Amino acid sequence: MICLGIEGTAEKTGVGIVDSDGNILSLVGKQLFPEKGGIHPREAAEHHAKWIPKLISDACDKAKLGLDEIDLVSFSKGPGLGPGLRTTATAARSLSLSINKPIIGVNHCIGHIEIGKLDTSANDPVSLYVSGGNSQIIAYEYGRYRVFGETLDIAIGNALDQFGRETGLGHPGGPVVEKLAKNGSYIDLPYTVKGMDLSFSGLMSAAIRKYKEGIEIEDICYSFQETAFSMLVEVTERALSHTKKDEVLLCGGVAANKRLREMLDDMAEDHFAKFYMPKMEYCGDNGAMIAWLGILMNKSYGPDKIGETNVIQRFRTDEVDAPWVKQSKS
Ligand code: ATP
Ligand code: FE2
């Protein structure tokens, strides 16, 4: 079984081809870099419409496969920006109908975790998924991936990006903040964990305020990272203690940050848990994660009916029954 997956939840268009043994046969993508400001949903959709056909043909060329050798088409059903999701689903439907092969829509967040497990030897981890659009602490319990904690407002990546734009550091903010943080020292910023959930908007506004007050940018960047990452690690640690799992997986674009990795790795070690992170090409949004989850779900359920391939903008991780997952202990 060979699956071609199409990803288009945000500003990256991705196509990947994966077989049922988990071999990633090809992975191609094209990112939209807005000239100024953040991502505009319509522009992201136009970007997908422009690139999906070329990326499908590039992915097949790289995998040395003809379209007739694809057995299944999968696509990201949500969560994400509506126009981009609809464009991606339309492309997947057209491909499925034109090659006369089945189609399946999958949850983007679960895709991140499954490709993370495939690319590392993690088996049943507590996962920290941190990106521009998502911040969730997820673990498998009783038949589904459960959300143990999540942001109540904006995602950590979005907070870093907005901070970057407001302070003239440019977009995306995350990598620049990481660089500047190396020479900073600590100043007080709001630390907001509510129960098991997180809030980053107050922290971001306070950081922008400090910048306008003339505080050194390096100090703000250092403190932004230390505060936000401690919040994320705290909730991940509590989920780890609660579930008694012994693996921690970091995924999503913010996983590029070395300080976050170090803090999470230290916490895992304190709990005698192993820390895992997939290669960066599988951390950010990509088509291979959509293809691989398509394979796993198709094995459990079979494909979707073409009339049921609607998108779900607020598709929650814990809405999906996941019988393909093997839990190590409960
Ligand atoms: P999703 O659709 O899953 O929300 P996304 O569109 O945000 O994904 P990703 O590639 O997963 O795309 O993540 C991009 C985010 O990662 C941006 O917010 C960016 O600032 C952040 N990022 C990238 N590198 C770093 C870094 N070194 N430190 C912190 N954040 C980073
Ligand atoms: Fe993502």
Q: Select from 6, 171, 254 the residue to mutate for testing ligand 1; criterion: most ligand atoms less than 8 Å from CB.
A: 254
φ/ψ of 143, rounded to 5, equals 90, -10
φ/ψ of 268, rounded to 5, equals -60, -45
**In ligand 1, which atom is closest to the CA atom of 258?**
27
pLDDT, tens digit (0-9, with 9 covering 90-100), for 61-73: 999 999 999 999 9
Confidence of residue 329 (pLDDT cuts 50, 70, 90): low
**In ligand 1, which atom is closest to the CA atom of 157?**
18
214 vs 208: CA distance, rounded Å: 10
**In 103-169, which ranges are E strands?**
103-107, 126-130, 135-141, 144-150
Token pair of 117 as six digits = 């497990």
Neighbours of ion ligand 2 (CB under 5 A): 131, 285
Ligand 2 centroid to 175 CA: how many Å?
A: 17
pLDDT, tens digit (0-9, with 9 covering 90-100), for 128-164: 999 999 999 999 999 999 999 999 999 999 999 999 9
Q: Is 116 in the pocket of ligand 1 (CB under 6 A)?
A: no
Q: Is 161 in the pocket of ligand 1 (CB under 6 A)?
A: yes
Q: Cα–Cα distances in Å, from 206 out to 56, 126, 180, 258?
A: 44, 30, 18, 24
Q: What pTM was computed for the model?
A: 0.96
269 vs 240: CA distance, rounded Å: 12
Q: Is 11 in the pocket of ligand 1 (CB under 6 A)?
A: yes
> Which H or E run contains 75?
strand 72-78
pLDDT (0 to 100) of residue 263: 98
203-277-250 Cα angle (round to 5): 30
